[in-house]
Structure 1
Amino acid sequence: MPPLLTVTHRKGIYLPEADLWLDPHFSVERAFISHAHSDHVARHAVTFASELTLELMRARYGVKESSTFHPLPMREVFEWEGWQMRLFPAGHIVGSAMLHLTRLSDGATLLYTGDYKLRQGLSSERCELLPADTLIMETTFGLPQFHFPPTAEIVASMLKWVRETLDEGHIPVLLGYSLGKAQEILCALGEAGLPVMVHKSILEMTTVVAPLLGQLPTYRLFDAAEARGHVLLFPPSGARSQAIRKLKVCRTAMLSGWAMQSGAKYRYQVDEVFPLSDHADYPELLETVATVKPRRVYLVHGYTQEFAADLRARGYEAWTLERADQLEIPLETAPRPSLEEPPSSSAAEPPEKPDQLARWAQVCSQAAAESSRLKKVALLADYLRALAEPADLALAVRYCAGLLFDPAAGEGPLNTGWAIIRRALQELSGLSDAEYRTLSRSQADAGRTAYLVLSRALSKNPTMAAPQSLDLQATDALFRSLRAARGPAPKTQRLREALATLSPHTGSWLVRLMTGELRMGSKEGLIEEAVAAAFAQPAEAVREAAMLSGDIGHAATLAREARLHEAAPRPHVPIKVMLASPEETAADIWQRLIRDEKAAEATSAHSVWLEDKYDGIRAQLHVSGGRVEIYTRDLKPIGLQFPEVMQAAQGISAEVILDGEIIAYAEDKKLSFFDLQKRLGRRDQADLFLPSDISVRYVVFDLLWLNGRPLLDQSLESRRVALEGLVLPTGLTLIEVQRVTSTVEIEAAFMAARRRNNEGLIAKDPASVYSPGRRGKSWLKLKKAFATLDVVVVKAEQGSGKRSHVLSDYTFAVRDEHSALRVIGKAYSGLTDVEIETLTEHFTATTLSQKGRVRTVIPDTVLEIAFDSIQPSDRHDSGLSLRFPRIKAIRTDKRPEEIDTLAYARKLAGVAS
Structure 2
Amino acid sequence: MAEHLTNIIWLRLLSVALPMTPLLKVEYRKGIYLPEADLWLDPHHGVKRAFISHAHSDHVARHEWTCCSALTRELMRVRYGMSKDGHVEALPMRQDFEWEGWRLRLFPAGHIVGSAMLHLTRMSDGASLLYTGDYKLRQGLSSERCELLTADTLIMETTFGLPMFRFPPTAVVIEQMLRWVRETLDEGEIPVLLGYSLGKAQEILCALGDAGYPVMVHPSIWEMTQVVAPWLGRLPDYQLFDPARAKGHVLLFPPGGARSQAIRKLKICRTAMLSGWAMQSGAKYRYQVDAAFPLSDHADYPELLETVKVVKARRVFLVHGYTREFAADLRARGYDAWTLEGADQLEMSLDGMPDRLDALPPDASGAAKGVVEACDSLARWSQVGELAAAESSRLKKTALLAEYLRALESENDVALAVRYCAGLLFDPAAAEGPVNAGWAIIRRALQELSGLSDAEYRAISRSQADAGRTAYLVLSRMNLLDPQTVTLGETDQFFRAVREVRGPVPKTKLLKEQLLRLTAHTGSWLIRLLTGELRMGSKEGLIEEAVAAAFDQNADQVREAAMLCGDIGRAAVLARRAELHAAAPQPMVPIKVMLASPEETAAEVWQRMTALGAQSIWLEDKYDGIRAQLHVTPQRMEIFTRDLKPITDQFPEIALAARQMTDAVILDGEIIAYSDDKKLSFFDLQKRLGRRDQADLFLPSDITVRYVVFDLLWQNDRSWLDRSLQERRQQLESLQLPQGLALIGVQRAHSVEEVEAAFMAARRRNNEGLIIKDPDSHYSPGRRGKSWLKLKKAFATLDVVVVKAEQGHGKRSHVLSDYTFAVRDEESDNALRVIGKAYSGLTDVEIEELTEHFQQTTLEQKGRVRTVIPQIILEIAFDSIQASDRHDSGLALRFPRIKAIRKDKAVEEIDTLTYARKLAGLPGK
TM bin (shorter chain) = 0.7 to 0.9
Number of matched residues? 892
Q: Given the alignment, which residue of 635, 639, 644 partners 1:635?
A: 644
- 1:803 maps to 812
Identify if the C-alpha distance between structure 1 residues 54 and 398 changes in structure 2 by more than 3 Å, giving closer, same or farther: same
What SS does structure 1 have at the residue aligned with 2:548?
helix
Q: Does 1:526 align with 2:545?
A: no
Alpha-carbon displacement from aligned partner over 1:296-333 (angstroms, at most 9, x marks no partner): 6654433445555655666767655556789xx9x99x
Cα offset, 1:643, TM superposition: 2.0
- 1:25 maps to 44
Q: Does 1:565 align with 2:581?
A: yes
Counterparts of 1:304 and 1:501 in 2: how far apart (Å)? 43
Q: Does 1:90 align with 2:99?
A: no
Identify if the C-alpha distance between structure 1 residues 834 and 186 changes in structure 2 by more than 3 Å, giving closer, same or farther: closer
- 2:257 maps to 238
CA contact (8 A) 1:648 1:731 kept: yes
Counterparts of 1:498 and 1:304 in 2: how far apart (Å)? 42
Cα offset, 1:809, TM superposition: 4.4
What SS does structure 2 have at the residue aligned with 1:665?
strand
Q: TM-score, normalised by structure 2?
A: 0.83
Q: Does 1:585 align with 2:602?
A: yes
Cα offset, 1:396, TM superposition: 2.0
CA contact (8 A) 2:216 2:251 kept: yes
Identify if the C-alpha distance between structure 1 residues 582 and 439 changes in structure 2 by more than 3 Å, giving closer, same or farther: same
What SS does structure 2 have at the residue aligned with 1:789?
strand
Counterparts of 1:666 and 1:735 in 2: how far apart (Å)? 19
Cα offset, 1:668, TM superposition: 1.1
What SS does structure 1 have at the residue aligned with 2:357?
coil
Q: Given the alignment, which residue of 871, 896, 899 partners 1:885?
A: 896
- 1:791 maps to 799
Counterparts of 1:546 and 1:283 in 2: how far apart (Å)? 64
Identify if the C-alpha distance between structure 1 residues 392 and 299 changes in structure 2 by more than 3 Å, giving closer, same or farther: farther
Cα offset, 1:361, TM superposition: 2.7
Counterparts of 1:456 and 1:739 in 2: how far apart (Å)? 62
What SS does structure 2 have at the residue aligned with 1:783?
strand
Q: Does 1:215 align with 2:224?
A: no
CA contact (8 A) 1:110 1:133 kept: yes
- The unaligned stretches of length 5 or more in structure 1 are 601-606
Cα offset, 1:375, TM superposition: 0.6
Q: Does 1:701 align with 2:710?
A: yes
Q: Does 1:342 align with 2:353?
A: no
Alignment of 1:745-784 (within 5 A): 752-764=761-773, 768-778=777-787, 780-784=788-792
- 1:378 maps to 399
Instruction: Read off the aligned partner of 2:625 and give its amino acid letter.
Output: G
- 2:9 maps to none
Cα offset, 1:617, TM superposition: 0.9
Identify if the C-alpha distance between structure 1 residues 729 and 503 changes in structure 2 by more than 3 Å, giving closer, same or farther: same
Cα offset, 1:899, TM superposition: 8.4
Across the aligned residues of Structure 1 and Structure 2, the Cα RMSD in angstroms comes to 4.4
Cα offset, 1:569, TM superposition: 2.6
Identify if the C-alpha distance between structure 1 residues 794 and 187 changes in structure 2 by more than 3 Å, giving closer, same or farther: same
- 2:177 maps to 158
Counterparts of 1:19 and 1:494 in 2: how far apart (Å)? 61
Instruction: Read off the aligned partner of 1:659 and give its amino acid letter.
Output: D
The answer to which of 13-22 and 183-192 deviates more is: 13-22
Identify if the C-alpha distance between structure 1 residues 311 and 847 changes in structure 2 by more than 3 Å, giving closer, same or farther: closer
Counterparts of 2:597 and 2:507 in 1: how far apart (Å)? 44
CA contact (8 A) 2:158 2:321 kept: yes
Instruction: Read off the aligned partner of 1:341 and give its amino acid letter.
Output: R
Instruction: Read off the aligned partner of 1:25 and give its amino acid letter.
Output: H
Alpha-carbon displacement from aligned partner over 1:761-819 (angstroms, at most 9, x marks no partner): 445555554332223345x2452434553635545745443334555445667789999
CA contact (8 A) 1:145 1:336 kept: no
Alpha-carbon displacement from aligned partner over 1:206-242 (angstroms, at most 9, x marks no partner): 3443343333334444455655554333322334445
Identify if the C-alpha distance between structure 1 residues 21 and 506 changes in structure 2 by more than 3 Å, giving closer, same or farther: farther
Q: TM-score, normalised by structure 1?
A: 0.84
CA contact (8 A) 1:39 1:849 kept: no
Identify if the C-alpha distance between structure 1 residues 433 and 689 changes in structure 2 by more than 3 Å, giving closer, same or farther: farther
Alpha-carbon displacement from aligned partner over 1:825-849 (angstroms, at most 9, x marks no partner): 54433444455556667x6699696
Counterparts of 2:682 and 2:154 in 1: how far apart (Å)? 59
Identify if the C-alpha distance between structure 1 residues 478 and 286 changes in structure 2 by more than 3 Å, giving closer, same or farther: farther
Q: Does 1:828 align with 2:847?
A: no
Q: Does 1:58 align with 2:58?
A: no
Instruction: Read off the aligned partner of 1:117 and give its amino acid letter.
Output: K
Alpha-carbon displacement from aligned partner over 1:534-577 (angstroms, at most 9, x marks no partner): 22222222212211121112222222233333333322221112
Alignment of 1:124-523 (within 5 A): 124-129=143-148, 136-223=155-242, 227-245=246-264, 247-289=266-308, 298-304=317-323, 306-307=325-326, 320=339, 336-343=351-358, 345-347=365-367, 351-422=372-443, 443-448=464-469, 450=470, 454-455=472-473, 458=476, 461-463=477-479, 467-468=483-484, 470-484=486-500, 486=502, 491=507, 495=511, 498-499=514-515, 502-521=518-537, 523=539
CA contact (8 A) 1:338 1:456 kept: no
Instruction: Read off the aligned partner of 1:885 and give its amino acid letter.
Output: P
Alpha-carbon displacement from aligned partner over 1:584-633 (angstroms, at most 9, x marks no partner): 53895598479667xx7xxxxxx755544322111112234643321101
The answer to which of 113-122 and 313-322 deviates more is: 313-322
CA contact (8 A) 2:605 2:789 kept: no
Instruction: Read off the aligned partner of 2:691 and give its amino acid letter.
Output: R
Alignment of 1:610-625 (within 5 A): 610-624=619-633
Alpha-carbon displacement from aligned partner over 1:637-663 (angstroms, at most 9, x marks no partner): 112221222232333344433222111
Q: Does 1:652 align with 2:692?
A: no
What SS does structure 2 have at the residue aligned with 1:172?
strand
Counterparts of 2:778 and 2:835 in 1: how far apart (Å)? 41
> What is the identity percentage for the equivalent residue pairs of Structure 1 and Structure 2?
72
Cα offset, 1:744, TM superposition: 7.2
Instruction: Read off the aligned partner of 1:640 and give its amino acid letter.
Output: D
Counterparts of 2:907 and 2:190 in 1: how far apart (Å)? 40
CA contact (8 A) 2:282 2:350 kept: no
Alpha-carbon displacement from aligned partner over 1:736-768 (angstroms, at most 9, x marks no partner): 455677777766655554444333444555555
Alpha-carbon displacement from aligned partner over 1:70-114 (angstroms, at most 9, x marks no partner): 545555566667766655443322233444566778877665443
Q: Given the alignment, which residue of 542, 545, 568 partners 1:552?
A: 568
Counterparts of 1:904 and 1:227 in 2: how far apart (Å)? 48
- 2:679 maps to 670
Alpha-carbon displacement from aligned partner over 1:127-162 (angstroms, at most 9, x marks no partner): 345566765443333444433222111111222222
